Amino acid sequence: METLFAALSPVEAFIYAVLMFVVLYGTICGPLYLYHEHLRRTAPARLIQARPTTAAQRKTELFASFRSILVFGGVAVLNVWGVQHGWFGLRFDFAWPRFLAETLALFVWNEVHFFLVHRLLHFAPFYSRFHIDHHRSLVTTPFSSFSFHLVEAVLLGSVMPLAMLVHDFSIWSLFMLPVMSLLMNAAGHSNIHFSIFRFSERHADHHRLYVKNYGFFLPWMDRLLGTEARP
């Protein structure tokens, strides 16, 4: 794999990354949306907001999400280029202790990075230009997960290269970052009650109130900085 990675061209890296994100987005967000619609018919009390979404909203979210995926493909080209030119270190061996420790570290870093970017985007000069597109989804769906302005997509996509600047991660741990990030992102936007940490309720309140609850999955950054609104 190391030899194949070293031989990747920018175009190949872009295509592979885009395909990976399309597959992840489709296999995670699609079934979760179908489950949401199943609950709407059979157990509407499981939904946070009962108001249905429109086909126009879903179309907008899908278009914006694909645009974000193209941005993430560009970030992947940067990551590959950085490894090939010695800016980033990357390990290709696998060891469970290293994999688990790095995955946990990336989970924590993702929480911190998302909070900082999200909080920045809610300041007045940035909100109306770069973040309001995401908040047009008052009732969120799993497809809202990547529905970003281009600038927001770039900022959120920087989570991996910034981590790679400070540590030589295993490629297997890095692959887990978009997987676990999208799983939590889609569940948080699903409009479905989840008992664990009530993260979907907190994010639904964020879309409803526009302020408070800037965190991603866990509430600890909001609690630490006084921006939590408990659902």
Are the CB atoms for 30 and 108 separated by under 8 Å? no
Say how far apart CA 138 and CA 65 lie, in whole Å: 16
Where exactly are the structural domains of the chain?
2-225
For residue range 129-179, what is the model confidence (pLDDT) as tens digits? Answer: 999 999 999 899 999 999 999 999 999 999 999 999 999 999 999 999 999
What tokens appear for 149 in the block?
Answer: 């302005």
- The model's confidence at residue 25, banded by pLDDT at 50, 70 and 90, is very high
Does the CA dihedral 108-163-201-221 come out positive or negative?
A: positive
Query: What does pTM read for this prediction?
Result: 0.96
Residues 6 or more apart from 29 whose CB is under 8 A from it? 142, 143, 145, 182, 186
Beta-carbon neighbour count of residue 7 at 10 Å?
A: 9
- Which residue is associated with the tokens 């770039």? 154
What tokens appear for 186 in the block?
Answer: 């889609």
pLDDT, residue 230, reads 80
Give the helix/strand (H/E) hosting 170: strand 169-170
Phi-psi map region of 30: left, alpha, beta (phi>0 left; psi -120 to 50 alpha): alpha
Strand pairing of 169-170 and 90-91?
Answer: parallel
For residue range 191-200, what is the model confidence (pLDDT) as tens digits? Answer: 999 877 788 9
